């Protein structure tokens, strides 16, 4: 009988095939479990690597660590954005896989929706429901990162398409259509002094052009970012210099509307 075989004593130093298989099965299971857990931990390591270049998060995002914990990676914020500013990260972002971000140079959040639709869409509060106006968001702060490239600082004007014909980005041009964002590439400019960053800033008193010297003949101006700046990135998107002279420094801490401002 089969059962007798299994019960028969096995030669010393050798276990029965059935015991062997059971042991191998356990080992395999432990190995697979280990690999899967390690894969998930790798995403944490990966995340450490991408921390050096943090991504701009949508308005209302909690501080980065909390945000990554609270986001359920569903993309509902992506779906409601009228200018498609929000995208989802991929697995190369490690633990940030599936988390929304904004690539401001390609398409900034210009608050075309008027009041943070993405926040309303977020089911988890990773985009904090504590904000209900664009001025309350603290995504980052704009900074004139390459002053020498800034046309206004050189005292130059700007004529033509801000970002060229191939640029896909959209912007709210309220005087054309308040509810339909227009392609930036459909909107040529002719400016005596380039003020694109100031002209299109959706936040009141966030940026202004100030004279470089007290000489009234000096046409040079420098964009000065003020406290009201929320870091939406419209200035970065609209800057005609290549690469952009003005860029947003991403806030990773102190942006939680419920937390302290740093």
Partner 1 sequence: MSSRLIARKLRDLALMLGAAPQKPTPEDMTEEARELLAFKKSPEERKRRKAAIENERAEAVQSHKWRMIRWASIFAVNGLFVASYWIDLQLVEGALTASRVLGFHFADVNSSLQLMLAHKHVVINLVIGVTTVLLIYAVIGGRTFCSWVCPYHFLSELAEMVHLKLVGKKLVRDHELDRRLRIIMFFVFAVLAFVSGYPLFEAISPVGILSRALTYGTIIGLIWVGLLLLAEIVWSRRLWCRYVCPVGLGYGLAGIVAPVRVMYDATKCLHEGKCRQVCLVPHVLDITKLSFAREVETPIGVDCTRCAMCIDVCPTGALTFDIVGLARSGADDKSEEEGA
Q: How far is the CB of 45 from partner 1 (least distance, A)?
A: 11
Kindly list the distances between the CA atom of residue 110 and the CA atoms of 79, 92, 94, 198, 220, in Å, as whole numbers in the listed order.
16, 27, 28, 13, 27
* 15/174 with CB nearer partner 1: 15
Least Cα distance to 131 among 78, 235, 69, 61 occurs for 61
Q: Which of 124, 136, 193, 222 binds partner 1 (CB under 8 A)?
A: 124
Taking contact as CB under 8 A, which single stretch among the options 40-48, 175-183, 232-240, 246-254 is the one that binds partner 1? 40-48
Q: Name residue, tokens 């690597």.
A: 49
Taking contact as CB under 8 A, which single stretch among the options 20-28, 201-209, 214-222, 237-245 is the one that binds partner 1? 20-28
Alpha helices per DSSP H over the chain: 2-7, 17-50, 64-70, 76-80, 117-121, 196-199, 234-238
Q: Which of 68, 104, 109, 118 binds partner 1 (CB under 8 A)?
A: 68
Query: Residue 211 corresponds to which tokens in the numbers above?
Result: 């004279």
By CB under 8 A, the residues from 81 to 110 that bind partner 1 are: 87-92, 94-95, 97-98
When asked if residue 75 is in the footprint of partner 1 (CB under 8 A), the reply is yes
Q: How far is the CB of 108 from partner 1 (least distance, A)?
A: 19
Q: CB atoms < 10 A from the CB of 37, how many?
A: 10
Q: How far is the CB of 28 from partner 1 (least distance, A)?
A: 5
């Amino acid at each position: 009988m089969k059962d007798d075989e299994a019960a028969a004593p096995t030669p010393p130093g050798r276990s029965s095939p059935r015991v062997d298989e059971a042991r191998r099965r356990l080992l395999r299971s432990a190995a697979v479990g280990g690999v899967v857990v390690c894969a998930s931990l790798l995403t944490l390591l990966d995340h450490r690597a991408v921390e050096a270049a943090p991504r701009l998060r949508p308005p209302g995002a909690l501080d980065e660590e909390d945000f990554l914990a609270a986001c359920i990676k569903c993309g509902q914020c992506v779906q409601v954005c009228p200018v498609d500013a929000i995208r989802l990260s991929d697995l190369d972002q490690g633990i940030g896989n599936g988390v929304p971000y904004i690539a401001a140079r390609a398409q900034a959040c210009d608050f075309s929706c008027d009041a943070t639709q993405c926040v309303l869409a977020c089911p988890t509060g990773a985009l904090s429901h504590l904000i209900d106006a664009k001025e309350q968001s603290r995504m980052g702060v704009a900074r004139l990162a390459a002053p020498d490239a800034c046309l206004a600082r050189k005292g130059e004007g700007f004529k033509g398409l801000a970002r060229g014909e191939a640029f896909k980005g959209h912007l709210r041009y309220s005087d054309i259509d308040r509810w339909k964002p227009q392609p930036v590439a459909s909107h040529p400019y002719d400016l005596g002094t380039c003020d694109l960053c100031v002209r299109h800033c959706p936040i009141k008193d966030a940026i202004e052009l100030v004279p470089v010297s007290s000489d009234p003949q000096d046409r040079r101006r420098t964009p000065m970012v003020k406290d009201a700046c929320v870091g939406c990135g419209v200035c970065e998107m609209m800057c005609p210099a290549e690469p952009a002279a003005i860029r947003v420094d991403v806030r990773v801490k102190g942006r939680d509307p419920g937390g302290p401002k740093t």
